[in-house]
Amino acid sequence: MITKRELTGFRRQVTKNETENALAWLNDELPRNYYSKNGRRAIVELLDSTKSLLDLTNSMRRQHRGVRLSKDLSRLALWVNRRMEEYPSWPIVMWSPDGTLVFGEDFSVNGRSLESEAATAHCILGLAEANVLDRIRRCECNRWFAGRKNQKSCSAACRHKRYERTDAFKASRRQYMREYNRLKRSGKVK
Ligand SMILES: [Zn+2]
């Protein structure tokens, strides 16, 4: 019998892999021929729509404590399902480098280099199912990253750039300049 802890550990590992795979694709880290212009747009649309689907569903459940589907919500679910129909997958078995049997998925290619695009689409749905899709975010520098709760920037450098534009920074800068000018007038600084 599989224990709950084993299952949680497995799910965590799957989520980690899905996050890494999705980010690698989104950040153009794979070979050029793995991408197409339409593919990029399609994946970002799928990501945004699935996030909205989760958000709307959560707010519906908060408001009504149950299912009360709005037209928007139904339309969105239909859209995501239709889009996923373009990425059919089926289970396959293979061996890992150390010889253990691995159960994975293969994806439709449709004569185009879509395999990794299809894999990314499946990762997005997997992350939605694990309820962590909102962590996949795009920084203002255009890089995709897996953020924590309120994290909006991919790095310390980007976080600082963002902070510099906030009101708090502008206010403290104004305060500093006022003080500086006052001292300058008094002749204490040159
Ligand atoms: Zn950044």
SS3 sequence of 66-122: CCCCCHHHHHHHHHHHHHHHCCCEEEEEEECCCCCEEEEEEECCCCCCCHHHHHHHH
Mean pLDDT for 75-102 is 92
What local confidence, expressed as pLDDT, does residue 54 receive?
94
For tokens 């089926």, name the residue.
90
**Mean of pLDDT over the chain:** 88
Domain boundaries defined on the chain: 4-151, 155-190
Please name the helix (run of DSSP H) or strand (run of DSSP E) that holds residue 146, with its range, or none: strand 144-146
Q: What is the 178 CA–ligand 1 centroid distance (Å)? A: 32
CA 117 to chain centre: 15
Furthest-apart CA pair in the chain: how many Å? 81
Mean pLDDT for 13-17 is 91
Q: How confident is the model at residue 190 (pLDDT cuts 50, 70, 90)?
A: low
Q: How confident is the model at residue 68 (pLDDT cuts 50, 70, 90)?
A: confident
CA distance 43 to 51: 12
Distant-in-sequence contacts of 130-139, Cβ < 8 A, 24+ apart: 130/11, 130/14, 130/15, 130/18, 131/54, 132/15, 132/19, 133/47, 133/50, 133/51, 133/54, 134/51, 134/54, 134/55, 135/19, 136/19, 136/22, 136/23, 136/26, 136/47
Residues 126-162: tens digit of each pLDDT: 999 999 999 999 999 999 999 988 899 999 999 988 8
What local confidence, expressed as pLDDT, does residue 186 receive?
85
Q: Phi-psi category of 126—alpha, beta or left, where left has phi over 0 and alpha has psi -120 to 50?
A: alpha
Cβ distance 111 to 99 under 8 Å?
no
Listed residues: CB within 5 A of ion ligand 1: 139, 141, 143, 154, 158
Is the pLDDT at 51 greater than 90, yes or no? yes
Q: What is the 49 CA–ligand 1 centroid distance (Å)? A: 23
In eight-state DSSP terms, residue 32 is: G
Q: What is the 140 CA–ligand 1 centroid distance (Å)? A: 6
Residue 28 amino acid letter: D
Q: What is the 83 CA–ligand 1 centroid distance (Å)? A: 29
CA distance 59 to 154: 27
